Amino acid sequence: MTDLNSSTFSDFFPSASLETMRARVVILKHVREFFEERGFLEVETPILSADTVVDRYLDPMSLTEGGKRFFLQTSPEFAMKRLLASWEIPIFQIGKVFRRDECGRLHNPEFTMLEFYRPGDDLERGMGLLDEFQQAILKRGPARKMTYSEAFETFLGLDPLRASVMEMAACAKREKMVIPEGFELSENANRDDWLDFLLGERIQAQLGNETPLILFDYPASQAALAVSRGEVAERFELYVDGIELANGYHELCDPGELRRRNAETNELRRQDGKEALPEESRLLAAMDHGLPPCAGTAVGLDRLIMLALGAKSLEDVLAFPFPIA
């Protein structure tokens, strides 16, 4: 791993080899062909916008120009949904996105994302399209499907939809996990913090090792921009070799519900000591106009390329990762 603290300019060489960068170009060509063959239009949307996704854990980078604040996009989702509301056709985009404080073997603050949407798709069709895509690029065969609840019950013997915080804490102790400092041990604690901890500590590494795996039906409290269905959200993620490659939703189309979720998320951000993010956006205006029923998925292309080429780290498939950018 490149030294993050290095201040020398003598090592100007790229991190990835020429052979790897040529292979990267070929994979990107295959990605575009996959969507073009299915009638998707490739689009480009702004990297800088006054709008940003309101997420508890994603911290956008920003700058001020002409007295107005703009955000480097953590995802092209908002702008792409504005196109969906206007055109109602299948679209995809390959572009750069940015996330603060993310750097390591599987993270880079600037990375390449593939995002795609198809009107008329529900949860099943959204997962089906993602499975077709990963088969076309990774050549590892069809993905297995497992619900979020099945994963917790299989690997931890825990029902994630009903287990109390104290039951989750007891599970962590039984599994000899090191509980993060500051985690609240009371029934008033945030359940999703505990679920995310258990998933990351014990479950994720076991997903998608024999064959790619799509995890779906997340708790409704983790819906983000997905439709909720009773206790669960119609959200899905693709895992390969224990690595999360994609996150998809049967997309929320109700602007009132998104406004409610934005306010709720900002309250959690304040509790975490973070700044609140803009709750009103042109996406909400587009949803007020009418967003067609659809499913959408975001794929971390650098991770996908890393796995496709058998590389061990993102810096093996990036010319200039953050430490030497």
Contact of 15 with 312, CB cutoff 8 Å? no
In angstroms, rounded to a whole number, what is the distance separating the alpha carbons of residues 121 and 178?
41
Q: Give residue-wise pLDDT tens across range 132-189.
A: 999 999 999 999 999 999 999 999 999 999 999 999 999 999 999 999 887 877 777 8
Query: In terms of C-beta density within 10 A (0-12 exposed, 13-18 middle, 19 or more buried), how is residue 145 classed?
Result: middle
Comparing CA positions, the residue from 226, 221, 220, 277 lying closest to residue 247 is 226
Instruction: Evaluate whether residue 40 is within a structural domain.
Output: yes
Instruction: Evaluate whether residue 137 is within a structural domain.
Output: yes
Chain centroid to Cα 104, Å, comes to 16
Domain membership of residue 236 as a residue range? 18-143+211-324
Instruction: Evaluate whether residue 175 is within a structural domain.
Output: no
Mean model confidence pLDDT for the chain: 95
Write out the DSSP string of 251-287. Answer: B---HHHHHHHHHHHHHHHHHTT--------HHHHHH
Instruction: Evaluate whether residue 300 is within a structural domain.
Output: yes
CATH number of the domain residue 64 falls in: 3.30.930.10
* Residue 8 confidence (pLDDT): 60
Instruction: Evaluate whether residue 189 is within a structural domain.
Output: no
Contact of 14 with 319, CB cutoff 8 Å? yes
Residue type, 237: E
Instruction: Evaluate whether residue 12 is within a structural domain.
Output: no
Total domains in the chain come to: 1
Instruction: Evaluate whether residue 75 is within a structural domain.
Output: yes
Q: Give residue-wise pLDDT tens across range 5-47.
A: 555 666 799 999 999 999 999 999 999 999 999 999 999 999 9
CA distances in angstroms from 270 to 23, 57, 267, listed in the order given: 44, 12, 5
Q: Give residue-wise pLDDT tens across range 62-84.
A: 999 999 999 999 999 999 999 99
Contact of 242 with 207, CB cutoff 8 Å? yes
Instruction: Evaluate whether residue 1 is within a structural domain.
Output: no
pTM (2 d.p.): 0.94
